A and B are shown apart, each in its own frame.
Chain A
Amino acid sequence: MGEIILDVRNQRTAFATGRGMLQAVDGVSFTLERGKTLGVVGESGSGKSVLSRSIMRLLPGTSMTGPGSQILLNGKDLTAMTENQLRRMRGPEMAIVFQDPMTALNPTLSIGKQIMEVLMFHLKMSKRDARAKAVDLLKAVGLPQPDVRVDQYPHQLSGGMRQRVAIAIAIACEPDLLIADEPTTALDVTVQAEILDLLQRMVRERNMAMILITHDMGVVAGRCDDVAVMYAGKIVEKAPVRSLFSETRMPYTAALLSSIPRVTDPPHRKLDAIEGRPPDLINPPPGCPFAPRCRHAEDACNRAVPELTGTADHQWACIKPLNTEAAA
């Protein structure tokens, strides 16, 4: 076992809405070791982005964190911290890269200033040192002509370059945990490959832990050690990446995998679509949240929410898991 950087225990995040409480993240627990990348996959509304914001403590005022929830980063509980304490954690211990690099950057400040700001606040660097370090960081993330670009503004850069700048800001204070929330969804496929390569290299070189949040099974397949699949606010399956693809247990994971169009398929193959829609998180069904759409569901599935079971490595939340002796 490596050093545990992040230990999320029974995280529950809800939002007050006009119709009642919406349970966006519903009892999520996992640990993450230094040097490892955890992929979190799910469709819209599965709670993956709320989970990332819950860890960063970047939630709006209408949100509520469950009483039993704990998020331990390097052993310190983030849920018990004041905003001032959190500010000192964000940057040196944890950082996030968002989906849209245009809105994540301040359009009125040069990119150099935005990197220097972090360095001067957290590391108390002088202006001159911070600028030199900013150029180094831009070089490290592969921005061409870093000494010229450092004085440019976000609108002068392409989407891929902006995402490189956002990564430079995130790694500026050498955080232990990097969260990348759909970092390449807004980018073209060739640029996506470059940015994912860059993130992987940064994690390796700086020995960080990374959570890579995505809706794309293809992105997690090549880039993660472990993968957690989310559905209706819960982790429904978690496994080392190879096991998830080859020994899939949770029918939702299997259905998701077979609904993906692949470049290796013959043209016009009929896709295995998942009929129906995810459940209403204000009035969730009493049993397994996937049961109404699951082709393997039985009466028992609708009675109680299945707990995560399995081995230390591979867990699933299903009473009728696939590819097991019990199911045969």
Chain B
Amino acid sequence: MNAPTPNIDSFLSIDNLTVEYPLSRRAKVHAVTEFTAHVKRGETLGLVGESGCGKSSAARAVMQLPRPTSGSVRLDGQELTTLRGAALQHARRKFQMIFQDPIASLNPRQTIRDIVAAPLEIAGIGTKEEQTAKVAEMLDLVGINPDQAMERRPHEFSGGQCQRISIARALILSPELLVCDEAVSALDVSVQAQVLNLLEKLKGELGLTMLFISHDLAVVKHVSDRVAVMYLGKLCELADAETIYRKPVHPYTRTLLAAVPEPDPDALRDRVELIPGELPSPVNPPSGCRFRTRCPFATARCTDEVPAIREIAPGHTVACHHPLMEHSAA
């Protein structure tokens, strides 16, 4: 049994992260169950899966918004889940987040200057003039002309520009970890490309570590060094971006990849047929492997035994009793 290699040099360590939302005294939503991932400094971990797979819950638990039910989140050696009050607020300078809806995440009544300066204001950093100068520097960095933008309000900007402003706000405290939750999903493809290129550029220039959550597998591949695939609250597979897209071994990863519509009329569509059916409820997830109810390879063992996460190649882990490599390796 190969346990995943413990990653001592990881900058962000997520261990056995579990997020549950109570519904009533007895029932609860199992949003994330024992999710483990380690991210090195300067690395981008992509987190993909379909709606309800727990990717956003996991991201928010990393942000301590809200705090996870159990498990550990360590950033640069510091345990975040036990921090309280002022200590947590202080630690937040190191990890910031950008959200999906760029317009809804900016206060419509504030000027761009006040929106981007808010983190400095809260942290009590700098005089008004120093803050304004820093805002101008950040806007410039994300490709917004500060002279024209400072005194205007969000409704005067397009979705792409609002997302750039959100990025400026998230980066103004020089965080080391940036969590992007579907940060480009609401944007048109031409604008999406601009924002993705911007994130890549900033990551290089500022040495950011990123957790990049998206339902779009192609977008995730573009920004990620490693990719984790989730299904119904559980990690299915984690590997470097190249490997997971070229040789997925979890049946769900393969299904998900095969379903991506490729912008190429001659693309071969080797579809792995799912067992027709619906996503099971996260209130009563299936026993054993959570994917077994739709998996074409499921056996009795998948019902009885939760598949452990095992390392099948250096840095490539999978939680499956019947990974797809076995038949090809034989």
Q: Which residues of A contact B (CB under 8 A)?
A: 43-44, 142, 144, 158, 160-161, 188-193, 196, 215-219, 221-222, 241-242, 245, 255-257, 259-275, 277
Contacts and interface: CB of A to CB of B under 8 A. Distances in A.
Interface string B244-274: 0100000000011101111111110101001
Contact of A261 (B196, B257, B271): B196
Contact of A218 (B194, B222, B261): B261
A133 B30 CA distance: 40
For B194, B219, B221, B256, the residue with the greatest tally of chain A CB atoms inside 10 Å of its CB is B221
Contacts of B263: 217-218, 221, 245, 257, 260, 262
Give the 8 A-B residue pairs with the shortest CB-CB distance, closest first.
A218-B261, A273-B193, A271-B193, A274-B190, A217-B263, A188-B50, A259-B193, A43-B188
B189 A256 contact: yes
Interface string B216-241: 11110111110000000000000001
Contacts of B304: none
A155 to B, nearest CB: 14
Given A188-B51, A222-B261, A274-B193, A260 B218 contact: yes
A212 to B, nearest CB: 12
Given A158-B278, A215-B189, A259-B193, A267 B265 contact: no
Contacts of B269: 222
Given A43-B189, A190-B274, A261 B264 contact: no
A188 B190 CA distance: 22
A191 B101 CA distance: 23
A190 B50 contact: yes
A119 B89 CA distance: 61
Contacts of A273: 190-191, 193-194, 196-197
A267 B189 contact: no
Contacts of A266: 242
Contacts of A261: 192-193, 196, 216, 218-219, 221-222
A217 to B, nearest CB: 4
Contact of B262 (A142, A188, A221): A221
B69 interface: no
A190 B193 contact: no
A196 B223 CA distance: 28
B223 A219 contact: no
B9 interface: no
B200 interface: yes
Nearest to A161: B278
B276 interface: yes
Nearest to B240: A267
Contacts of B194: 273-275
Contacts of B274: 190
Interface in B169-226: 188-194, 196-197, 200, 215-219, 221-225
B218 A44 contact: no
A270 B217 contact: no
Contacts of B245: 263
Contacts of B7: none
Interface majority SS (helix, strand, loop, mixed), chain A = loop
Nearest to B200: A268
A265 B222 contact: yes
B189 A264 contact: no
Nearest to A218: B261
A269 B222 contact: yes
Nearest to A217: B263
A190 B196 CA distance: 24
B158 interface: yes
Contacts of A144: 276-277
B149 interface: no
A150 to B, nearest CB: 17
A108 B215 CA distance: 31
20 contacts: A44-B188, A189-B259, A189-B261, A190-B50, A193-B259, A221-B264, A260-B218, A261-B192, A262-B262, A262-B263, A263-B221, A263-B260, A265-B222, A269-B222, A271-B222, A273-B194, A274-B190, A275-B194, A277-B158, A277-B160
Nearest to B190: A274
B141 interface: no
A246 B32 CA distance: 44
A189 B53 CA distance: 13
B218 A193 contact: no
Contact of A259 (B158, B190, B223, B261): B190
B40 to A, nearest CB: 15
A216 B263 CA distance: 8
B298 interface: no
A263 B266 CA distance: 15
B324 interface: no
B150 interface: no
Contact of B264 (A191, A196, A245, A275): A245
B37 interface: no
A153 B13 CA distance: 44
Given A43-B188, A221-B264, A273-B197, A189 B217 contact: yes
B265 A263 contact: no
Nearest to A158: B278
